[in-house]
Amino acid sequence: MLFKYMKNNFFRSALLLLIFIPSLLFAQEDLLNLLGEDKPQVEHVTNAFKSTRVIASHSMEHVAAGVLDFRIMHRFGEFNSGSYEFFGLDQATIRLGLDYGITDRLTVGVGRSSLHKELDGFLKYRLLWQSTGAKNIPFSVILVSGATANMLKWADPDRKNYFSSRMGYYNQIIFGRKFTEAFTLQIAPMMVHRNLVEKSTDKHDIYSVEIGSRIKLTRRLALTMDYFYILPNQLPDENTNPLSIGFDIETGGHVFQLHFTNAPAMNEKTFITENKGSWSKGDIHLGFNISRVFTIVNKKG
């Protein structure tokens, strides 16, 4: 009788365990979720601009880690050059560049411009990344540092020339925010340094502030603006502030930027310190940038 009683209790206990163990496991899973498994994730803001360049200036966007961006920047001549020059279309300057994403926060780039046969290179680091969710950061901060080298033949090869005289440098800090899906604004103070200047009275360090914006018009079309305000009393009176206005057009695997600008140069040192084009006088260049990206290192691989 005692054995029968123990046997019945054993089966009752086993049955109760089979019923309650799944409930206990689910309760434990819910408790783990409450303790942090379902905590809010950091959502980084992307596509503030559709390119790593607003037009001429760096934008707050980066090349993704493991991705190579091959970029062609092209400017025709001035519209006011007349029909003999086919309103500028007979003339052209070009820059070819390669930008590579070492990480999602660090980009390195090199380029070569036909104007002055200049070589340039830069490092671009994302210090703060606009984000929502677990970490709310209201804007992005990007640091850019670059160098240029004028590779034209020496004007007087018989005298002692120094390679350092060819060099120029720039440092820029970009503060940018994507306010809505349709509107982005960035402000970027910049300092350009020239190792060699024409006159002893010319300044080696030139300070400016860039304002860049993007207004999304359709799913694949956006209006962009890129303006550099150069602080007064730094350059000759004939120098002008670079202003570019254009459209970003997304076409599958690349971004096509069509624009109008008074600055034919395509690196920071040259278009900041040497620009003399005036919009009011018709010194306007039709230009375009084409960007094509290639995945070199797959992050998942």
Q: Answer yes or no: do 76 and 2 share one domain.
A: no
Residues 103 and 136 in one domain: yes
Residue 301 lies in a domain: no
User: What's the pLDDT tens digit per position in 55-89?
Assistant: 999 999 999 999 999 999 999 999 888 888 898 88
The predicted model gives 192-215 an average pLDDT of 94
Lowest mean pLDDT among 32-36, 105-109, 114-118, 161-165: 32-36
pLDDT the model gives residue 254: 76
CA dihedral sign of residues 193, 195, 201, 202: negative
Is the same domain home to 248 and 130?
Answer: yes
Considering the domain architecture, whether residues 46 and 23 belong to the same structural domain is answered as no
**Binning pLDDT at 50, 70 and 90, where does residue 300 land?**
low
- Residue 48: φ, ψ to 5°: -60, -40
User: Do 103 and 116 belong to one domain?
Assistant: yes
The pLDDT of 165-190, averaged and rounded, is 96
**In a shared domain, residues 135 and 258:** yes
- Quick one: pLDDT band at residue 200, thresholds 50, 70, 90? confident
Judge whether 95 and 110 are in contact, CB under 8 Å: no
300 occurs within a structural domain: no
- CA–CA gap between residue 151 and residue 270 (Å, rounded): 13
Q: Tell me what the pLDDT averaged over the chain comes to.
A: 87
Tell me which residue range forms the domain holding 238: 42-295
CATH number at residue 242: 2.40.160.40
Q: Provide φ and ψ at 115, rounded to 5°.
A: -70, 120
pLDDT of residue 30: 52
Work out the pLDDT band at 133, boundaries 50, 70, 90: confident
Q: Do 9 and 59 lie in a common domain?
A: no
* Proportion of the chain above pLDDT 70, given as a percent: 86
Q: Distance of alpha carbon 276 from its chain centroid, rounded?
A: 26
Strands (E), the chain: 42-44, 67-78, 92-101, 106-113, 119-128, 131-133, 140-149, 167-178, 183-194, 205-216, 221-230, 243-251, 254-261, 285-295
**% of the chain with per-residue pLDDT over 90:** 66
| 29 in any annotated domain | yes
> Is there a single domain that holds both residue 12 and residue 139?
no
For residue 20, tell me if it sits in a domain.
yes
pLDDT at 168: 95
Domain check: are 55 and 31 in the same one? no
Same domain, yes or no: 114 and 231: yes
The model's pLDDT over 6-61, given as tens digits with 9 standing for 90+, comes to 444 544 544 444 444 444 444 454 544 555 556 678 899 999 998 999 999 999 99
Give the per-residue pLDDT at 52.
Answer: 94
The pTM of the full predicted model, rounded to 2 decimals, is 0.83
Return the pLDDT at 155: 83
Do 75 and 133 lie in one domain? The reply is: yes
Same domain assignment for residues 33 and 173: no
pLDDT of residue 24: 43
Q: What dihedral do alpha carbons 35, 36, 39, 41 form, nearest 10°?
A: 170
Flag whether pLDDT at 261 surpasses 60.
Answer: yes
pLDDT for res 120? 96
The larger pLDDT score, comparing residue 139 to residue 7, is at 139
Tally of domains in the chain = 2
Look at residue 156 and tell me whether its pLDDT is greater than 90. no
Whether residue 75 lies inside any domain: the answer is yes
